[in-house]
């Protein structure tokens, strides 16, 4: 057996994030702004999406290279038809030790039991504010907070906890919701994670001035809830962890902009149409779908994946500049977060 591949910076491959669809029922301003993703936007036709057979085959090969954690994303993954059947296939693979899903939560009440029965371990739910005015302005789909909270409750009832919640903080939009969100989830066992607004893609009009920094976020929370740092659970963990001193649980901060964590990044991302990206901020991918559909053997696919990872030198967040921000990067809705 060949050794586990390392990239040019000595980073192993551990996590694989799979976008199962480029479609979403939200139009969040930092991800799929309606001005770009409007009624005339051309989404991928079904035949261009990787099939569940193709995805299962690829994940099997990835686990042979060291992948242990698989996260299903989108778009909104729950709009992909028959998703529990894919979950069941992936959960049955011996190399997959952690199978998770990131969702906006709205469709969880109808799907959480089937997902849990199929073998899904956990879900992460996106929620950017806990008041309807702010949240509906951000999601631009007239979806109230209650719909997401109902999804969270359904996931917990199905055994898909503990729930992690992701809040992207964008200046001028929802920084006022930091403390209310902390208050709502303090002591609930749900782990709230604050994410600095990032320059993913090329359509969200990102500016550095729009970033509410990790220092600002932590200072805001500490003004009411004293906190202290916690050690990471594993190497390569993107969220810096903090615990409430009063025993009310923990929070996380994902600070790609002001506290880059490229040095320990062990993630690859697979788009819904089979492009492999080795960085969230990539400008181009590697076409695995063509290899799959041209009759490549498993050995040939594995060799190609090894080569891609061995040559990887991505560290965008450490190099971010005015010039790199303007590069035509792949959209977040295309490869997930």
User: At 235, which CATH number?
Assistant: 3.20.20.70
Is 8 within a domain?
no
Q: Is residue 227 part of a domain?
A: yes
Domain span including residue 108: 15-335
Is the per-residue pLDDT at 136 higher than 90?
A: yes
Q: Is residue 57 part of a domain?
A: yes
Query: Residue 89 falls within a domain, yes or no?
Result: yes
Within a domain: 2: no
- Residue 5 forms part of a structural domain: no
Token couple for 219: 């200072």
Residue range 175-190, pLDDT digits in tens: 999 999 999 999 999 9
Residue 37 lies in a domain: yes
C-alpha span between 91 and 279 (Å, rounded): 25
By DSSP bridging, strand 275-277 and strand 267-270 are: antiparallel
* Residue 293 Ramachandran class (φ > 0 left, ψ -120 to 50 alpha, else beta): alpha
**Number of domains observed in the structure of the chain:** 1
pLDDT in tens, 266-303: 999 999 999 999 998 888 899 999 999 999 999 999 99
Section 242-257 average pLDDT: 96
The pTM is what?
Answer: 0.94
How far, in Å, CA of 220 to CA of 254, rounded?
15
Question: What number is the average pLDDT over the span 75-92?
Answer: 97
Once rounded to an integer, what is the mean pLDDT over residues 61-83? Answer: 97
Q: Using omega within 30 degrees of 0 as the cis cutoff, is the peptide bond preceding 186 cis?
A: no
pLDDT tens by residue, 156-173: 999 998 999 999 999 999
Judge whether 185 lies within some domain: yes
């Amino acid at each position: 057996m060949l050794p586990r591949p390392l990239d040019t910076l000595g980073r192993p491959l551990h996590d694989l994030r799979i976008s199962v669809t480029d479609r979403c029922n939200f139009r969040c301003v930092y991800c799929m702004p309606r001005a770009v993703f409007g009624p005339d936007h051309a989404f991928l036709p079904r035949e261009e999406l990787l099939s569940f057979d193709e995805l299962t085959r690829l994940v099997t090969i990835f686990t042979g290279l060291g992948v242990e954690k698989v996260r299903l994303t989108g778009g909104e993954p729950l709009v992909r038809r028959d998703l529990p059947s894919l979950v069941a296939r992936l959960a049955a693979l011996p190399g997959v030790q952690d199978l998770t899903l990131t969702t906006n939560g709205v469709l969880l009440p109808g799907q959480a039991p089937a997902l849990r029965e199929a073998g899904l371990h956990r879900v992460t739910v996106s929620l950017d504010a806990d008041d309807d005015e702010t949240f509906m302005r951000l999601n631009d789909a007239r979806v109230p907070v209650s719909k997401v909270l109902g999804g969270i409750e359904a996931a917990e009832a199905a055994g898909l906890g503990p729930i992690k919640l992701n809040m992207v903080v964008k200046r001028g939009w929802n920084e006022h919701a930091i403390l209310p969100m902390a208050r709502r989830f303090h002591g609930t066992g749900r782990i709230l994670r604050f994410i600095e607004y990032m320059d993913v893609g090329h359509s969200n009009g990102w500016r550095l001035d729009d970033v509410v920094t990790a220092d600002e976020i932590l200072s805001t929370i500490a003004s009411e809830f004293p906190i202290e740092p916690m050690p990471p659970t594993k190497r390569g963990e993107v969220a810096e962890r903090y615990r409430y001193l009063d025993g009310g649980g923990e929070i996380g901060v994902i600070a790609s902009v002001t506290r880059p964590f490229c040095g320990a990044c062990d993630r690859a991302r697979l788009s819904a149409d089979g492009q492999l990206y080795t960085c969230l901020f990539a400008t181009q991918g590697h076409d695995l779908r063509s290899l799959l559909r041209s009759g490549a053997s498993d050995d040939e696919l594995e060799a190609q994946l090894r080569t891609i990872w061995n040559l990887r030198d991505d560290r965008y967040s450490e190099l971010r500049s005015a010039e790199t921000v303007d590069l035509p990067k792949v959209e977040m809705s295309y490869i997930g977060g």
